[in-house]
Every structure is written in structure tokens, then in C-alpha cells.
Amino acid sequence: MTTSSNFYTLGIDLGGTKINVGLVDTKGHLVYTHYSLIQPFIQPNIVLSEILKGIDICLSVTGQEADSVGIGIAAQVDLEGVVQSSPNLGWRNFPLKKKLEEKLDLPVFVTNDVRAATWGERYCGSGKGINDLVVLFVGTGVGGGVISGGNLLVGCSNTGAELGHITLIYDGRKCRCPNSGCLEAYVGGWAIAERAQEAIQAKPEKGKFILSLSGCVENVTAFTVSQAFHKGDFLAQELVEETGRYLAAGVVSIINAFNPCRLILGGGVIDGIPELIKMVKDNVQTHALDFSVKKCEILKSALGSNAAVIGSAVLARDLVKKSFQ
Ligand SMILES: [Zn+2]
């Protein structure tokens, strides 16, 4: 094992369809990254092999050593690094930290991916140095991270800040969690796709342009909607404006609850339709409590798809430092 005097840490972003491994220096810069795609619902052992391969490549190409490994995974994770539930990977009760530490002679830290991204944004992204910060990533699912008074909100069982599953509408659209009416069930990529498909089925005439891009209604995704929106399609515009109103409603609740100085929006849906940020800003100013929103800036993620890699590396390094103190 190497010592805490090393200057590099490995960060890993493990999602439902991809593994991004990066070597990160003390300033949060990515020195090298290795990206691989995985099949949905893949077996944990295959994922472990892919992670080890990515680590090997990062270290051998750069000729560097790392002092620890941080992993941000799209999942609920307990304090022992056991993946309790990952709907995207299809894993339950998988001891990811233990399994990786058996293979690597390095300490491993496992956390939720958006929580890692939140720490990354605060370390060297759009939330740099901000002690009251909320990060909301809108991708296929919707995840969140909250920093209050400089500390990450973890909660009683380490699953705090599941902001995608705040209830927007009682008895509303069925979510992928046990609840209905969650923010994710309206603005997550899968939900935008569902809403678009329903709108096209209800009014096929209006959906002609979107269908011309996707081929058939089942193939309509949030990406198709963003493409059609940027080509001026009327139905896509309606869908995006509606998404903006739902997202703003969620952000209003989040701002009222946490009173952040800064709220950062990121993720694939925001990258595809950055116009949503202005829609949220305009709406939030008039709907959130005056005193709660007064000092709150809303910005786009600066680190984007690298946020969880950088953040998980920085979190892991912080823990290693603590263990040497
Ligand atoms: Zn939900």
C-alpha cells in the first residue's frame, strides 16, 4: 500500500451503462480517464473486472500510483460501502467496498454518484468553496446532493438528499420507486420519454415531427425530444416548457427546504436542453419564499460528466488523510 503523501487518487463513476475511471490530482484535475460501456443489469463480477481493468490502464499509462479509490455509484449505499439498491444496475445488498478491497491493496470508499458529484462541484466546479450548496443532476433518473454548513448531508441510513423522489404531485405519475408523483417521474429522462410517447399517441398529428426522428413511438427518448425542440417543433416545445415548470416546482421546494447559496443543475437532460436552466430561474424567483431564494444563485454544472469521478476521488482522499491524522 502507498502512503498519504502520494498526490493521486482514483475516482470512479459507475452508472447503469458506463464505468468512468479517472486518476485525479490534489487540485481535482483529471490526469487520465478510461471510459467503458457496460450492458444494463450486468453481473457485479463483470463490473468488478471492468473497474480493475480501468484502474490498471489509468496507472500504467500515467506511470503513477494512487493512495485510494473513490466510487460514486447510481445507488443507495450504506456506510459500510454495501450497495443496498441500484435499480439501474439491478443490484441489491452487494458489498462493493469489500469486494474491491480484496482485489486492490488500497482503501476504497463507496458513495452515491450525485453525492460524489456534489463534492466535486464544491471542490473545483460551479460550487467551489460554497458551504450551503445543492446539486441536482437530471439524467435518466434524478439525483441530488446537499452540503449544509460545509458538511455533506448523509441522513440516518446514509441515503439523505434523494431529491429526485420528493413528491411533486400527490397520486401523480408512477415513479420507479414505490411512490407516485415524484420529481423524477416528471423530469427524469425516462419520464420525459414516457410523457412524449403519451402525447404522440393522444395526438398523432402533433407528434409527426418527433416520430420522423425516432421511427416509431416506442423509440422516442428525451434525446429525441431535445432534438425536435431545437428544430422548433411545437409539441417538443410544449413538452420542454412543461418539463421546465415541473423542474422549477421541485427546485422551489428544495430551495425552501435547504436555503442554499447556490444550486447547481447538471446531468444529461440539462446538457441536452440547457434552456431548462433559464425556465427554472424565471419560475423560482416568483414561487420560492422571498428570503430563502434571495441569495441563491442557480448555475449549470461546471464538471459535467466528470463531476462524480472527481468528487469520489476527493472524498476518498479526504478519508485517507483523516485516517493518517
Ligand atoms: Zn420516486
Q: How far apart are CA 223 and CA 246, in angstroms?
A: 18
Q: How many residues does the chain have?
A: 325
The three cell numbers of residue 118 are: 456534489
Q: Residue 89: its pLDDT value, please?
A: 87
Q: Please check whether residue 240 is in contact with residue 278, taking contact to mean a CB–CB distance below 8 angstroms.
A: no
Q: Side-chain half-sphere of 1: how many Cα atoms within 13 Å?
A: 14
Q: How far is the CA of 185 from the centre of ligand 1 (A)?
A: 7
The three cell numbers of residue 275 are: 434552456
Q: Residue 324: its pLDDT value, please?
A: 65
Q: How far is the CA of 96 from the centre of ligand 1 (A)?
A: 24
Q: How far is the CA of 166 from the centre of ligand 1 (A)?
A: 7
b vs e for 11-37, b when ≥16 Cβ sit within 10 Å of the residue's Cβ?
bbbbbbeebbbbbbeeebebebbbeee
Sequential DSSP letters for 102-115 = HHSSS-EEEEEHHH
Backbone angles phi, psi at 6, to 5 degrees: -65, 160
Q: Residue 2: its pLDDT value, please?
A: 43
Q: Please check whether residue 265 is in contact with residue 138, taking contact to mean a CB–CB distance below 8 angstroms.
A: yes
Q: Tell me the one-letter amino acid at 170.
A: Y
Q: Residue 7: its pLDDT value, please?
A: 86
Residue 49: other Cβ atoms inside 10 A: 12
Q: Tell me the one-letter amino acid at 5.
A: S
Q: How far is the CA of 325 from the centre of ligand 1 (A)?
A: 40
Q: How far is the CA of 122 from the centre of ligand 1 (A)?
A: 26
Q: How far is the CA of 99 from the centre of ligand 1 (A)?
A: 29
Q: Tell me the one-letter amino acid at 155.
A: G
Q: Tell me the one-letter amino acid at 139.
A: G
Q: How far is the CA of 141 from the centre of ligand 1 (A)?
A: 9
Q: Residue 325: its pLDDT value, please?
A: 59
Q: Residue 4: its pLDDT value, please?
A: 45
Q: How far is the CA of 85 from the centre of ligand 1 (A)?
A: 13
Q: How far is the CA of 164 from the centre of ligand 1 (A)?
A: 7
| β-bridge pairing 76-77 and 83-86 | antiparallel
Q: How far is the CA of 27 from the centre of ligand 1 (A)?
A: 35
Going residue by residue through the chain, which has 325 residues, state the pLDDT in tens, using 9 for 90 and above.
444 445 899 999 999 889 999 999 999 999 999 999 998 888 899 999 999 999 999 999 999 999 999 999 999 999 999 999 988 788 999 999 999 999 999 999 999 999 999 999 999 999 999 999 999 999 999 999 999 999 999 999 999 999 999 999 999 999 999 999 999 999 999 999 999 999 999 999 999 999 999 999 999 999 999 999 999 999 999 999 999 999 999 999 999 999 999 999 999 999 999 999 999 999 999 999 999 999 999 999 999 999 999 999 999 999 887 766 5
Q: How far is the CA of 54 from the centre of ligand 1 (A)?
A: 32
Q: Residue 6: its pLDDT value, please?
A: 53
**Crossing angle of the two packed helices 222-230 and 189-202, in degrees rounded to 10:** 70
